[in-house]
Amino acid sequence: MRKQRNKTPRPLGAPGSVFGALLVVFLLVGAGALMVWDFLVTRELVTGTAWIPWAAQQLDGLSAAAWMVPLGVVLGLVGIWLLWLSVKPRPPLAVPADGETVWVSPKVMAALAKAAVQDVSGIVGVKTSATPKRIKVTAAVWGAAPDDLEAQLRRDVEQRLAGLERIPPVKVNVRREGASQ
How far is 104 from 166, CA to CA, in rounded Å?
11
Q: How many CB atoms lie within 10 A of CB 15?
A: 16
Segment 70-96, tens digit of pLDDT: 999 999 999 999 889 889 988 888 888
Could you give the 3-state DSSP secondary structure of residue 161?
coil
Segment 18-29, tens digit of pLDDT: 888 898 999 999
Segment 120-170, tens digit of pLDDT: 888 889 999 999 899 999 999 987 777 888 999 999 999 999 888 888 999
In the chain, count of helices (H) and strands (E)? 5, 5
Buried b (16+ CB within 10 A) or exposed e, 68-100: eeeeeeeeeeeeeebeeeeeeeeebebbbbeee
pTM of the entire structure? 0.63
Comparing CA positions, the residue from 27, 49, 29, 30 lying closest to residue 38 is 49
| Euclidean distance between the first and the last CA atom of the chain, given in angstroms as a whole number | 64
Query: Quick one: pLDDT at residue 25?
Result: 95
Residues 6+ apart with CB under 8 A from 96: 10, 102, 103, 104, 164, 165, 166
- What backbone phi and psi angles, to 5 degrees, belong to 19? -60, -50
How far is 139 from 142, CA to CA, in rounded Å?
10
Query: Quick one: pLDDT at residue 66?
Result: 93
Give me the chain's average pLDDT, please.
88
Comparing CA positions, the residue from 48, 28, 30, 27 lying closest to residue 38 is 48
Q: Which CATH superfamily is domain 95-176 in?
A: Cation efflux protein, cytoplasmic domain (3.30.70.1350)
Q: Assign 3 a pLDDT band (cuts: 50, 70, 90).
A: low
Answer positive or negative: Cα dihedral of 86, 89, 94, 99.
Answer: positive
Query: Quick one: pLDDT at residue 101?
Result: 76
Per DSSP (E only), the strands in 72-146 are 95-97, 102-104, 123-131, 134-142
Q: Is the predicted pLDDT of residue 67 greater than 60, yes or no? A: yes
Domain boundaries, given as residue ranges, for the chain = 17-87, 95-176
Comparing CA positions, the residue from 163, 181, 175 lying closest to residue 117 is 175
